[in-house]
Amino acid sequence: MKKLINAPDDVVSDALEGLAAAHPSLAVDMDSRVVTRAGGPRPGKVGLVSGGGSGHEPLHAGFVGYGMLDAACPGEVFTSPVPDQMLAAARAVDGGAGVLQIVKNYTGDVLNFQMAGELAGEEGIEVRSVLVNDDVAVEDSLYTAGRRGTGATVFVEKIAGALAEQGADLAALVTVAEQVNARTRSFGIALSPATTPASGRPGFTLAEDEIEIGVGIHGEPGRRRGPIGTAAQLAETALDAIHQDLPLDGEVLVMVNGMGGTPLIELYIVFREVRRLLAARGVAVARNLVGNYVTSLEMQGFSLTVCKLTEQFTELWDAPVQTPALRWGR
Amino acid sequence: MKKLINAPDDVVSDALEGLAAAHPSLAVDMDSRVVTRAGGPRPGKVGLVSGGGSGHEPLHAGFVGYGMLDAACPGEVFTSPVPDQMLAAARAVDGGAGVLQIVKNYTGDVLNFQMAGELAGEEGIEVRSVLVNDDVAVEDSLYTAGRRGTGATVFVEKIAGALAEQGADLAALVTVAEQVNARTRSFGIALSPATTPASGRPGFTLAEDEIEIGVGIHGEPGRRRGPIGTAAQLAETALDAIHQDLPLDGEVLVMVNGMGGTPLIELYIVFREVRRLLAARGVAVARNLVGNYVTSLEMQGFSLTVCKLTEQFTELWDAPVQTPALRWGR
């Protein structure tokens, strides 16, 4: 294992110190392991909290800032954060209007956010949760009952975050977040595995020419393995899986996401193919993200996330955002 | 070789089509292979042109936009663009105030930009060039007489780009660009090699525990090979090499740059160490970039770039920039 780390046990705390030093717009509570916006909560604004295992950067801490999240709770690598973190986050961001938890569907995350929500409730903080489960690859998985949550998280965080900034109440945010999740699907393909610092070994192995089709963001198995094809073929495989589950039409928001070890030049090639295939079905890519947003350490591969836009989604997507990983319009 | 491509020969053109589709702010001339800002040149503004081999994305096309470059010329992967591209770029961005070419010091790039500058001059376009040669690792290299140009390119493009936006003339831009280069140094370390699509084979090989210390952005050999150490040790190696060449003091701008295959979480750890080591020497990191900016396909590793700030540099660094890869303040 060759990694730029000091010791496996220090990876998350060292990285959080680096994150805090790099971004004055963030406040990092090293004891609680909670990343918030510098300056504290805005009275009357619903606080948006997300979190999950580390190793998926910039998710989630990279999306803390104006127009998106108020707090992120990073767990150990590929490990759920604990309820105490989530409770500390809820306390830190509650401006009196309650807290929305954005939870990717992994069993540990779901249970811990639920417990944290109950504890916060006992303290008088109103907490609601939305579950993100957009990955069509498999119905149940290693760490999941039901579908895994992946790329849609970025869309939910951005769109609900923009609405929260406008002063929407908790119920309205739950509604829009659920709508985004309902209209979004993802599918991932891995060319190589990732190695967690703690294990020191690749999470799985692939033959020289083999890929994992439908892979999860922790290297969970997908639908099948097969030989690598062209970028056009891989894009079609991912898009077909999505389209079969949620027939696409009209205007869509597309993310071609790198798993962490894939060159950007390759992601642009995949985007070219996705856009071409969608155009052939009469579907227009109205908005897009191409880059590393939901990674799996150094895994090579990509995931495709497609959201069927509504007028409201587009408007909220275009609204100003100022986070380390997503910035525009202000 | 597992890559998200259609065919080795189509990598650059397919990626350029993807880039054009992803970023409406860019105009991509597929025939000339030139990426410019949409909307054409601004009369009276000096046009900033850069370019070089592909495979280093987001460099250079990702830095085309308000406050930075006016045009980028992408060559084939790890191969210099041709003079015709650079000439087309000069024509496309000349607003009557001349063109500044920002050239990384690789023999092919230098010769071709020189030829393009002469051809443009014959057409009445005033062209000046600045050579970027910040990499302290080695004096001469595989493709270079003198030092290689790497991370400083981003700083030169940003700082000169901001000054150009303010209406500075060509001579003033040459001066500031040369000053940035003179006050900036870089050093890179590779944990793994990259494979170009054309060759299908890794550019070099390393043992299980071995790293290349002082590596170039095309996998050129550095100073030596050695066993991997901690992030703290690697940061110190890179910083020592820089400090030995250019003693650091006061305030600096630091980039911890991923080579393309390194997880973001590791880059934050390296940044933590760099900042700590600089603080111990009484040097303050006043500005920073942590992420993938000058990559080498899927190579794992990082490069460290440090610029000794002046008041002018800081002001121009903070000025608004709107490009696919760098965005703030507007």
The 10 Å CB-count burial string (b at 16+, else e) for B90-101 is bbbbbeebbbbb
Q: Is B293 helix (H, G, I), strand (E, B) or coil?
A: coil
CA distance B122 to chain A (A): 35
DSSP state, B39? T
What length is written for chain A? 330
Point out the residues of chain B with pLDDT beneath 50: none
Q: Is B221 helix (H, G, I), strand (E, B) or coil?
A: coil
State the amino acid at position A234 in one-letter form. L
**Which of B199, B185, B194 is closest to B212 using CA atoms?**
B194
Whether the pLDDT of residue A27 is over 70: the answer is yes
Task: Considering only the beta carbons, identify the residue of B5, B262, B302 that sits closest to A231.
Answer: B5
Q: In A96-147, where do the E strands start and end? A: 99-104, 127-132
Q: How far apart are CA A291 and CA A266, in angstroms?
A: 10
Residue pair B246/B185 in contact (Cβ under 8 Å)? The answer is: yes
Which value does ipTM take for this structure?
Answer: 0.98
Tell whether B7 lies on the interface with A, counting CB pairs under 8 A. yes
The domains found in chain B, sorted by start residue, are: 8-182 (3.40.50.10440), 184-314 (3.30.1180.20)
Output the CA–CA distances (angstroms, integers) from residue B53 to A295, B22, B48, in the order listed: 26, 21, 17
**Given B23, B60, B218, B243, which residue is catalytic?**
B218
Q: Which of residues 181-200 of A touch B (CB under 8 A)?
A: 191-192
**Proportion of chain A above pLDDT 70, given as a percent:** 100
**Given B23, B56, B60, B243, which residue is catalytic?**
B56
Give the strand order in the sheet containing A224-227.
A224-227, A210-213, A184-190, A301-308, A251-258, A284-291
How far is Cα of residue A12 from the mean position of the Cα atoms in its chain? 18
Active site residue B56: yes
**Can you tell me which residue has the tokens 């963030």?**
A26
**What is the number of CB-based contacts under 8 A between chain A and chain B?**
175
State the amino acid at position B172 in one-letter form. A
Q: Angle between the A311-318 and A152-165 helix axes, to the nearest 10 degrees? A: 80
For the stretch A68-106, pLDDT in tens is: 999 999 999 999 999 999 999 999 999 999 999 999 999
Angle subtended at Cα A296 by Cα A295 and Cα A297, rounded to the nearest 5 degrees: 100
**Yes or no, beta carbons of A263 and B260 under 8 Å apart:** yes
Task: Considering only the beta carbons, identify the residue of A58, A208, A327 that sits closest to B264.
Answer: A58
Q: Is B9 helix (H, G, I), strand (E, B) or coil?
A: helix
Could you give phi then psi for residue B9, rounded to 5 degrees?
-70, -20
pLDDT value at residue A330: 61
Count the Cβ atoms, other than its own, within 10 Å of residue A4.
Answer: 28
**Which of B301, B304, B329, B313 is closest to B239 using CA atoms?**
B304
State the amino acid at position A59 in one-letter form. L
Tell whether B304 lies on the interface with A, counting CB pairs under 8 A. no
Residue pair B264/B317 in contact (Cβ under 8 Å)? The answer is: no
How far is Cα of residue B136 from the mean position of the Cα atoms in its chain? 15
Q: What residues contact A80, with CB distance under 8 A and at least 6 apart?
A: A52, A53, A106, A108, A109, A111, A112
Tell whether A229 lies on the interface with B, counting CB pairs under 8 A. no
Give the residue-averaged pLDDT of A24-52. Answer: 97
Could you tell me the two tokens for A151?
């790329």
Q: Angle between the B264-280 and B231-245 helix axes, to the nearest 10 degrees? A: 50
pLDDT value at residue B141: 78
For the stretch B240-289, pLDDT in tens is: 999 999 999 999 999 999 999 999 999 999 999 999 999 999 999 999 99
Q: Which of residues 110-169 of A touch B (CB under 8 A)?
A: none
Identify from B13, B77, B230, B264 which residue to disrupt to test chain A contact, counting A C-beta atoms within 10 A and taking the largest count: B264
pLDDT value at residue A197: 97
For the stretch A241-293, pLDDT in tens is: 999 999 999 999 999 999 999 999 999 999 999 999 999 999 999 999 999 99
Could you tell me the two tokens for B59?
């460099």
DSSP state, A201? S
State chain A's mean pLDDT as an integer.
Answer: 97
